[in-house]
Structure 1
Amino acid sequence: MNIVLSPEQEQFVHEQIACGRYNSANDMIREALRLLEERNESSHHRFEELRREIAIGIEQADRGELVNGKEVFSKLRERNDAQIHPK
């Protein structure tokens, strides 16, 4: 497989090798791919978690377990003000 990098990307790779962070371009690309896989996996898990939370919220709403939005934001403002201006 051949990969074409922009001049800026190529310079960045050379800088990372020169400063000793990586032994080779291959090492750097492997690490970059590992981090990308990790980020994608984390995003996927977070997305699934949000879907579950939304489903729970919909079930609660269907049961009539609702909260007044104005009250929630009022309490959040009070908490925020208390943290910014502690007594």
Structure 2
Amino acid sequence: MKATTMKTLTVSLTPHQAAMMQGAVESGGYASNSEIVRDALRLWEQREEIRQMELARLKRAYDEGMASGEGREVSADTLLKELKAEARSSG
């Protein structure tokens, strides 16, 4: 296994956050505060990746909508009737 060079950083925590970390280490949930921070960063990375994928999906949907042609005005009642009819036909 390749050795990874670690970088030391200083992080400021609220008293509540520090107590939560201490409790997690003392209970055996984590081996160290560093392990907790690395786990939190992994979760953050996953959330950011999902966020980027969602933004890309929304951009594609926007682009498809813009390419689909001119829009039309429709009243709420008409839209509701059209949606119900569509649901019945696909039901």
Question: Partners of 1:13 and 1:34 in 2: how far apart?
Answer: 16
Give the equivalent residue in structure 2 for 1:22.
30
Q: Match of 2:67, SS?
A: helix
RMSD (CA atoms): 2.3
Give the 5 Å matches for 1:1-87. Answer: 1-62=9-70, 68=74, 70=76, 71-74=78-81, 75=83
Query: After superposition, what is the alpha-carbon deviation per residue over 1:6-65, rounded to whole angstroms, capped at 9, x for unaligned?
Result: 111100101111222211100000000010011011101100110001110111134x6x
Long gaps (5+) in structure 2: 1-8
Instruction: Give the percent of matched residue pairs that are identical in Structure 1 and Structure 2.
Output: 24
Higher helix share: 1
TM-score calculated relative to the size of structure 2: 0.68
Q: How many residues align?
A: 75
Flag structure 1 segments of 5+ consecutive residues without an equivalent: 80-87
Question: TM-score scaled by structure 1?
Answer: 0.71
